[in-house]
Structure 1
Amino acid sequence: MAESGIRRRTVLGASLVTLGGAACTTPDVGSSATPATIGSPPPASTGGPTPVDTRPTCVTLADHEFRFETLCGGSGGPVSDDRGNMQQLTYFGPVRATEAGVTAWFVNAIVAWDPATGRVSGLLAPKRSDSWAYAICGDATINASCDGTLAVHREGCLVDELKGHTLPKGAATAVLGLEAVDAQHLVSLGADGTLRLWDVESLSEVRSVQPEVEAPTWLTLDADAAIVLVTSADGTSLQSFSTELEPAQTLTDLPASTGGWKAVGKAKAVAVADGANAIVTVDLADSSVSEHKFQKTPLTVEALADSTLAVGMPARLTLVEPGGEEVVVRDGVRYGHAVGFSADGAATYLADGVGGVASFDTRSGELIRRFDEPGRIQ
């Protein structure tokens, strides 16, 4: 493991503790599934794209129109595959395994699947902005509206809102990241430069801090380790916090990663290294850096606490054991841009941008099952 010139600063006395609390409660919406009254539409932003009021009633798979759209003036266009061909992505990351099932974006809605059957189990929330960030907090699904308001959904219905983030002038997206701490608490990173902790049950902001990294852009969380990471836009610096948003430490002079760093266990972070065809790992305890090289360019990475890596790439999914042994999966993978693990780590879920969602055995790489398409694109 090579040593680096990373500069490290630790805030003494910062504790890493997990918040407790009861699960989110479900309001009685009745058989007609009518959402609670939210109030008047938000005022137009003073800068940046004009927000679009996208607060309809409840949305179900039967009545939702899956269509490509931009809501805040942001980009939602096609991407290049490994052959340079332009194509529209139908699936968007992240892909998460939660109590609701396996969840991911499909075109313009957050959808859940039953991992045991691969069948669609429901539509959790429609798209409300051009951000693909979302979180599952207990039975609530949270994503962002154009003006930075966090929309709280239950069973496809908009039931509550969390207000605090604002849309900076010239910004296309107000909310950059959302992560559930537990069944009651949520952390969010805004383009306004604030990191916020929310109590979803009481609809209140618990705490707000301003990360010290320049241009904070990426937010990840390891709930088991109680670590929140915020990464700068260029990936060369990160700051860690407890799940109560107590600052813990700041690292600078990291290898550049414009995809952000992700917490692994209690003392590591991983990232896709820019221009190096490699995944890099930094030890948060001693600032040492190691890397794992690939022949193809990694697109995204997730890691288990034992440091097993799931790496999405063009035309493949690569699983890397802690000792460095690789299992390469090419089973129908065309654009593997979002990966995740089951709660026990036995299954790896891949949201292939143009090929659908599938599960694979984490050790062997064998296909477990492909998940059903949630609906027809209008």
Structure 2
Amino acid sequence: MNALDGLTVVDLSHAIAGPTCTNMLVELGATVIKVEPPGTGDGFRHYTEHGGEAMLSIPFASINAGKRSIALDLKTPAGIELLWRLLERADLLVENFRPGVLARLGLDFDALHARNPRLILVSITGFGQTGPLADRGAYDHIAQAMSGIALMNTGPDGPQKIGMPIIDSFTGYLATIGFLAALRRRDASGLGEHVDVAMLDAALKLVNTTVSVHSYTGRTPGGTGNRGFRLVATSEFYPTAQGWIALGANNQQQVEALLHVLGHPELIDDPRFRSHDARVAHYPAVRAWLTETLSTWRAADLEARLAEARVPVAMLREVGEIAQHPHVLERGTLHPVALPGWDRPLDVVGPGFATETRPTSTVPTLGSDTDAILAELGLDEAAILALRRSGVVG
């Protein structure tokens, strides 16, 4: 049995954060009905390459596999009425419109609660439903800039955005947690609630240690870029003679093991290496020594030796390398799904933890489940045909 078997989710979200939330819910067993505009669908379907008529970009497919798709025009009264019929039997509605859009559709939380008291509403926005910035839109890099993350990731060319949608994705995971908390409360009260999830809040949660240190001391700890939070040169990235290596020697035992592997155990008693405080105080000298010493090693050899010595370490790898790593393959982290319009299945990442889940089997084309969903709502073939001819559904 999967954790969310029997639960129905109506998904009005698009792009990344909302669909990431509902992707997690699919993996945990929920039935997710993705509501999309006829003709175009979720704009993420068209992101970079697509599969002909199927309109399935690879990024879209990666976070929408296993969902059902209904193409429904919410700009029409008939479309809204059909949405209401879905919501009356649903457990969760996920949306990521700007604040106020749902209310203009007549779907504010009070209206939803009146028609379906058990319905949980999860709203995902850039800055939340309240506060002076609530009306602003946001993208992942906007949240990175606003939260301080971009300045913490400063390199020689200035502040850098992290090269993947980390805030979008983490916001989706927090939305999942928020829903599960609301579901637990509903088990006790029988009533749904409105969960307000903001990308800025999610970004601040990612840097919560830095926020707390600053609030107490007035300082932003750790510097920026490669130096990270701990300010120790023995826990950073370094170029080697072949490839890059990430060292993770943070405590004294790990540092001593590192020095043994590098062939310099005499430095254990060196004042620069003797303690954490000493390594912080002598950061430039320690980093210069490591840069020179590691330049004579190959990253692969160093990774093997340090791992054997119980020092946290990793070569810097391309995504394609780690996706095919024996460790990832043995754990079943990825699984294939059918991808209509493409020449082979697509590997997608599962929920990210080991538990009983429902592997997704295919990615929905736009409106692929429209007729079946409408039939489940009690509409006959003639009614469905009439809706299709009028453009209410696609």
Of structures 1 and 2, the one with the larger relative CO (CA 8 A, separation 6+) is 2
More strand by share: 1
Tell whether the structures are fold-level matches, with TM greater than 0.5. no
Q: Smaller-chain TM-score range? A: under 0.3
More helix by share: 2
Q: Which has the larger radius of gyration?
A: 2
Provide TM-score, normalisation by structure 2: 0.27
